[in-house]
Amino acid sequence: MRAAVVGTGVMGSAVCLRLLRAGYQVSVYNRTPGKAAELGAAGAKVAATAAEAIDGADAVVVALLDAGAFRATLLGPEVAPALAGRRVASVTAATPDDMRALAAAVRAHGGTFVEVSVAGTPEMVEQGKAQAFVAGEPADLAPWSEPLRACFARVHDVGALGNASEVENACILGALFTVVGAVYTLRALEGRGVPQQAVAALWENDPFHANGVGMYVLGRVGARSYDAPAATVATIAATCEMSAAYLASLRLPVEPFEAVRGVFSRAVERGFADKDFSAVYEVISPGEA
């Protein structure tokens, strides 16, 4: 079976490696070709254009930054005709409204579209330990059962197109607050000279305090290592744009979220765009206020 992966950032690369390991022939395309070179060495065919990558593929996984990057890469006049007859699965996060609009555009060009919300880090995807929430028409989802099984430990079908994005958007919103909350906890302890590791027992074991993302941030902060990102600050900053639009669509108050978004914007301004998102720790310091 032939697969294509469009967008070989950290998530697209992990999906590609998983598919290669499962025996798929995989073509990849990335706007910045150098970032796909390692996948070429791992056995993928690196295409010069998105149209070339998806040509003849049985399964097209799109792992681009956001809905805008999806439109720019696949829906322009040079590439869109190549969508005819293609089965597209979007791993790209988007608001439910954007996801439905992308689906309509792919269908208008003769392709099918399902959404795949990945629950887990790229490392978990590479190891086959991540979960996925999928949505779309049953007939469009059916041919995806094999490639999805190759990539994910568990696949949850949540029904109509848009529902997987609802799960993803709602969970991301909470996670963004949680990351910033965890950083404040760690900085508060640091400001008082108390070992940060003291919170690990609470975050790991106490249901009132359980905080998986806090443990992740603590691990990165402890090692002071923000390279080899699971998700970059820049990606999370783009995610914040999506979350702001999602909040507006729900007519939930946006002011508390604007403070969270400001923390990620500040990290971009201070040069951490390409680092792991836990680098926001570096831009919230005791003594700054």
Ligand X SMILES: NC(=O)c1ccc[n+]([C@@H]2O[C@H](COP(=O)([O-])OP(=O)(O)OC[C@H]3O[C@@H](n4cnc5c(N)ncnc54)[C@H](OP(=O)(O)O)[C@@H]3O)[C@@H](O)[C@H]2O)c1
Site mask for ligand X (CB under 6 A), range 113-142, x = bound? -----x--xx--------------------
Is 71 among the residues that bind ligand X (CB under 6 A)? no
Go through 93-121 and write b for each residue having 16 or more CB atoms within 10 A of its CB, e for each that does not: bbbbebbbebbebbeebebbbbbbbbbbb
DSSP element (H, E) containing 69: helix 67-74
Is 30 among the residues that bind ligand X (CB under 6 A)? yes
Residues in the chain: 289
Contacts 24+ apart (CB under 8 A), 194-198: 196/221, 196/222, 197/222
Number of residues located near ligand X, criterion CB under 6 A: 28
**Residue type (1 letter), 130:** A
Is 60 among the residues that bind ligand X (CB under 6 A)? no
Is 96 among the residues that bind ligand X (CB under 6 A)? no
Partners of 90 in beta bridges: 62, 115
CB-closest chain residue to ligand X = 9
Sheet of 131-135: strand order equals 45-46, 25-29, 2-6, 59-62, 87-90, 112-119, 131-135, 154-157
Site mask for ligand X (CB under 6 A), range 201-240, x = bound? -----------------------------xxx--x---x-
Cβ nearer to ligand X, comparing 8 with 112: 8
Cβ nearer to ligand X, comparing 25 with 131: 131
Interface positions with ligand X (CB under 6 A): 7-12, 30-32, 35, 63-66, 69, 72-73, 91-93, 118, 121-122, 230-232, 235, 239
